[in-house]
Amino acid sequence: MAVSLTTFSLRPLFKPLFLAATLTSLLACGDSVTSAAGSQFNGGNVDQGDNNSGGDTGNGNSSDFDKTKLLNDLVEQVFVPAVNDFQQASTEHATAVAAYCSDLKTQQVSDADLLQTAKTSWQVSMSAWQQLEVMQIGPLLNNDAQLRNEIYSWPVTNQCAVDQDVGFNEAGTVAGGEYDISKRTSTRRGLDAQEYLLFNTDLNHACANDSQAPQNWNQRPDIERQIARCEYSVEVANDLLNSANELADAWLSGGASSYAEILKTAATNGQFDNVDAAINRVTDALFYVDKITKDAKLGAPVGLINNSCGTATCVNDIESRLSAHSLQNIRANIVAMQRVFKGGSSDTDVGFDDYLVAVDASELAVTMATDIQAMIDAIDSFEGEFEAAVVNEPAKVQALYQNIKKVTDNLKSAFITFLSLQLPASSAGDAD
């Protein structure tokens, strides 16, 4: 699917509080509600003990299923590659933004090719990150999801706050002290702030009035404002790289204390109640696709879910609107779900499809795998920009919503029931 670089005039984007609350509740996956398996499901008897394979339940070959192999393949074939991809993309993005800004300051005119390279590197970083959005466990949930929010705070964004920090960074001071982006709030940094800095073509500030913006900002020469923004863009890119490195260190450094090893040894290390608790932590993350991908990214803009416009079509609620990267984000979410479901990209990797087969749920495994691929195919066949479809062809967006709903309905019912897992508290009682 071609990447669109269409840009839009700057308009303050109000993100509804319900989206922020939804994301916050989703990330708080520790609170769970048991989904008891019904008698009609063989998976209701899968052993929940502290071993690698589950007990001998008399249900198909469930006693032969290696849960530790599942976690190992998820770590080695899914989570670690996703973390590494984001770290590499962040490195290249920081380099591209620095090159663009250095040339702008030297030549006093924006180089279209260098700017395009910086934009493209952001798109690559965003696509890599959007896979990690569906893998929010461990380091990305610690400290109330602090690291996650520093990398990407959507749906809580504040373009005026970004403009303010452009001024603070230019001055080198804030609140009487030296400016340090790492001490600033999440809405002033991260991928969403960088989208505003790189893709927004309006040099005027986004604040409600001039008193909230850098002094005399709208009256300054264009080149001064371009340079101030590009210099802050460099700070944001370097901060993103630092966060990507922090995430990689948490997953890979520290030997047995790395999160990769903690997950792989979940059956014996005492960090989880048992191996099933670690598996449940992974499946909790998949519910991002239900609450955020389906409802917030698709349902809200097209008016299927209450939004900041009430129940009407609401383009202000479109994710990555300035960069026109909305569909790419959604696709990356679904690709991530597919990789977690399959345990990787190879048929030899052990995933949740294999776990379902082991509990005599082969039909569900095939159905979910087919429906997940159908979602990707539907996105790839989508013609035109997402915003145009929301406004002019809402039925296309609604159809995509229904495609995803087929998968998430199974995710929060038959899937968790067959595997005797638990629903995140945010999804308990949710029948939509």
* Domain extent listing, the chain: 17-427
pLDDT at 63: 61
Cα-Cα-Cα-Cα torsion 204, 210, 211, 212, nearest 10 degrees, comes to -40
Beta pairing partners, 34: 422
Instruction: Give the tens place of pLDDT for each residue, 363-412.
Output: 999 999 999 999 999 999 988 899 999 999 999 999 999 999 999 999 99
pLDDT at 141: 96
Task: Say how far apart CA 374 and CA 136 lie, in whole Å.
Answer: 24
pLDDT at 334: 98
pLDDT at 277: 95
pLDDT at 427: 62
pLDDT at 218: 98
Q: What are phi and psi of 34, to 5 degrees?
A: -65, 135
- Listed as ranges, residues in the chain with pLDDT below 50 are 1-61
pLDDT at 430: 60
Residue 353 vs residues 136, 350, 374: alpha-carbon distances, Å:
20, 8, 16
Q: 17-427 adopts what CATH topology?
A: A middle domain of Talin 1 (1.20.1420)
Two tokens, residue 268: 């014996």
pLDDT at 34: 32
Q: Taking a C-beta distance cutoff of 8 angstroms, is the pair 155, 15 a contact?
A: yes
pLDDT at 352: 98
Burial class (CB in 10 A: 0-12, 13-18, 19+), 159: buried
Would you tell me how many other CB atoms lie within 10 Å of the CB of residue 294? 27
pLDDT at 46: 33
pLDDT at 383: 87
